[in-house]
Amino acid sequence: MAAPPRPDPTGAPSSAPQPNSSSNNVPPLAQAPEKKNPKQMTKAERRALQEQQRAAKAAAAVNSEKGGVKGGAKGKGGAKVSGAQVGPGSAPVTPRRPAGMGGGAASGDTPSRRESVYGGDDAGSQMHALRIFSHFGLPRPPSSVKGDIHPAIVRLGLQFSRFKITGANARCIATLQAFKTVIQDYTTPPNTTLSRHLMTHLNPQINHLVSARPMAVTMGNAIRQLKLEISDSDIDTPEQDAKDILCHKIDNYIRDRIIFADQVIEDTAGQKIKDGDVILTFARSSVVEKVILNAHNDDKRISVIVVDSRPMLEGKHLLSVLSAANIPCTYLFLPALGSVIGEASTVLLGAHSLHSSGAVYARAGSALVALMARTHNVPVLVCCETYKFAEGVVLDSFTKNELAPAGDLFHLFPSVIPRESLTLESKPNLEILSPLYDLTPPENITAVVTEVGIIPPNSISSIPFTLGRQTI
């Protein structure tokens, strides 16, 4: 394209249109520069050409089915994406979420799950969602799983997804009891054996429970042991006898690894509680509850400080049980921990899982309680059964976690403002995040009380060898 004509030095009017005063500030290269060889262009010319190409690609990408921004968002200065300026000083634009980003289809995310996190396709293109937490297990109803799902498993999946059954021990016992029903109602097809086909029949049941809520370590260890017992079944045993043997082994597992283990932990931890002690605990652990009640039944004069946190408020249930047993209790929320930690004699905590590095995975807030106790030189005892042991090493609670149900966060607030305006729900400009677990490092734990004894955190990896086998 030819260069614009220069004005006549004699002052005669030119036939070519003169540029207005506002266009004098625009760089010449922004006004349709003529095509040149890239080697002959200056650095500014090449940059302007790249910006125009990127803007054209971005416009084509927005109009395509994939959506999102592929190249336009990388432009500098005056690149445009879907009609919105992207550059210094311009308003931020949240593009439509590209496929393959964290929590997308590549990581097992489903459309229903994306809608629950991002508020649907329309809201997801406008809100600034917390994408770095999109891999957390979200509370959701169980999805349809291929295979014949037993009604007992369907009912249990609904209870898990609605948090009607919480706690590692309660979830494991409920799962094993449901599997007993599945096994008793199972019939071996012709030309096959129970030891081979039953595990194939159980896999859809397990997948259904996992779709309702991520599997706990206790459930995984119990299911692994059940599959081992099924594979070791004698093929010559009559079918009903084999099913009765498996159900009997399930009962033995619950009795030995949970019920009897809790009784041993009660006696062992009770020896560390002295008359007149002030015990501090967080949220609610079934084994910690038994330890406190057992110490009270031994005529030890103790008092308990129950620290709780939203949104689940599990400490309220523990408080009601201890108060019914005439145990003096103090109830407070986690932010007030610093005002009472100095009065505690011992801190008793429960655990969701125990890892070979000595770290304890427990209800969110346990790590803060252990840290505060260590700062004030208060011993921290973690009451945990050995079947909660996991060989993997967990460095933080961000890699794998769950989100607790939101619930009504303001039911105790004064009713000056209408309740409808106080209840928090996920909105285009608000994302509720309530992680269910956190990780307590081993340096903040004094000892772990198990049914095989009191173990220091740096010796947790010896639990499988103490039980006489490599895996649990």
* Domain stop point among 240, 262, 284: 262
In a domain? residue 61: no
Residues 6+ apart with CB under 8 A from 16: 4, 5
Co-location of 309 and 446 in the same domain: yes
56 — pLDDT class (breaks 50, 70, 90): confident
Taking only the tens place, the pLDDT of each residue in 10-49 is 444 444 444 444 444 444 444 444 556 666 677 778 888 8
Indicate if 257 and 292 belong to the same structural domain.
Answer: no
* pLDDT band at residue 405 under the 50/70/90 scheme: confident
Alpha-carbon distances, residue 321 vs 222, 279, 347, 412 (angstroms): 29, 15, 18, 21
Domain that holds residue 309: 274-401+436-466
On whether both 313 and 289 belong to a single domain, the answer is yes
- 385 pLDDT more than 70: yes
In a domain? residue 15: no
Is residue 251 situated within a structural domain?
yes
Q: How many helices (H) and strands (E) does the chain have?
A: 14, 13
Residues 221 and 303 in one domain: no
**Do residues 355 and 284 share a domain?**
yes
The verdict on residue 23 lying in a domain is: no
DSSP β-ladder status, 303-308 and 80-81: unpaired
The enclosing H or E element of 361 equals: strand 360-363
In a domain, 124, yes or no: no
Structure confidence at residue 105 (pLDDT): 36
Render pLDDT for 202-252 as a digit per residue (tens, 0 to 9): 999 999 999 889 899 999 999 999 999 999 999 889 999 999 999 999 999
Is 339 part of any domain? Answer: yes
Write a three-state SS string for the chain: CCCCCCCCCCCCCCCCCCCCHHHHHCCHHHCCCCCCCHHHCCHHHHHHHHHHHHHHHHHHHHHCCCCCCCCHHHCCCCCEECCEECCCCCCCCCCCCCCCCCCCHHHCCCHHHHHHHHCHHHHHCCCCCCHHHCCCECCCCCCCCCCCCCHHHHHHHHHHHCCCCCCHHHHHHHHHHHHHHHHHCCCCCCCCCHHHHHHHHHHHHHHHHHHHCCCCHHHHHHHHHHHHHHHCCCCCCCHHHHHHHHHHHHHHHHHHHHHHHHHHHHHHHHCCCCCCCEEEEECCCHHHHHHHHHHHHCCCCCEEEEEECCCCCCHHHHHHHHHHCCCCEEEEEHHHHHHCHHHCCEEEECCCEEECCCCEEEECCHHHHHHHHHHCCCCEEEECCHHHEECCCCCCCCCCCEECCCCCCCCCCCCCCCHHHHCCCCECCECCCCECEEEECHHHCCEEEECCEEECHHHHHHHHHHCCCCCC
Give the total number of structural domains in the chain: 2
Residue 3's DSSP bridge partners are: none
Do 330 and 215 share a structural domain?
no
Residues of the chain with pLDDT > 70: what percent? 67
Highest mean pLDDT (candidates 73-82, 105-114, 452-461): 452-461
Pair 376, 334 in one domain: yes
Residue 424 vs residue 102, higher pLDDT: 424
Whole-model pTM: value is 0.69
Q: How many CB atoms lie within 10 A of CB 368?
A: 19
Q: Is residue 45 part of a domain?
A: no
Residues shown for the chain? 472
Taking alpha carbons only, the member of 351, 302, 371, 349 closest to residue 330 is 302
What are residue 183's phi and psi, to 5 degrees? Answer: -65, -40
- For the segment 87-108, what is each residue's pLDDT rounded down to a tens digit? 444 444 444 443 333 333 333 4
Which tens digits make up the pLDDT trace of 311-366? 889 999 999 999 999 999 999 999 999 999 999 999 999 999 999 899 999 999 99
Q: For the domain that residue 167 is a member of, what is the CATH number?
A: 1.20.120
Tokens read off for 469:
């086998």
The domain that holds 459 is classified in CATH as 3.40.50.10470
For residue 461, pLDDT beyond 60: yes
178 and 210 fall within a common domain:
yes
Asked if 374 and 291 sit in the same domain, the reply is yes
- Residues of the chain with pLDDT > 90, as a percent, come to 51
| 344 and 456 assigned to the same domain | yes
Same domain, residue pair 331 and 458? yes
How far is residue 458's CA from residue 239's CA, in Å, rounded to a whole number? 46
Rounded to 10°, the helix 286-297/315-324 angle is 20
Domain membership of residue 54 (yes or no) is no
pLDDT, position 81? 40
Average pLDDT over residues 164-183: 95
pLDDT at 145 over 80: no
What does the block give as tokens for 124? 């997801």
- Please report the pLDDT score of residue 422 as a whole number: 52
* pLDDT for the residue 424: 54
Task: Tell me, yes or no, whether 449 and 338 share the same domain.
Answer: yes
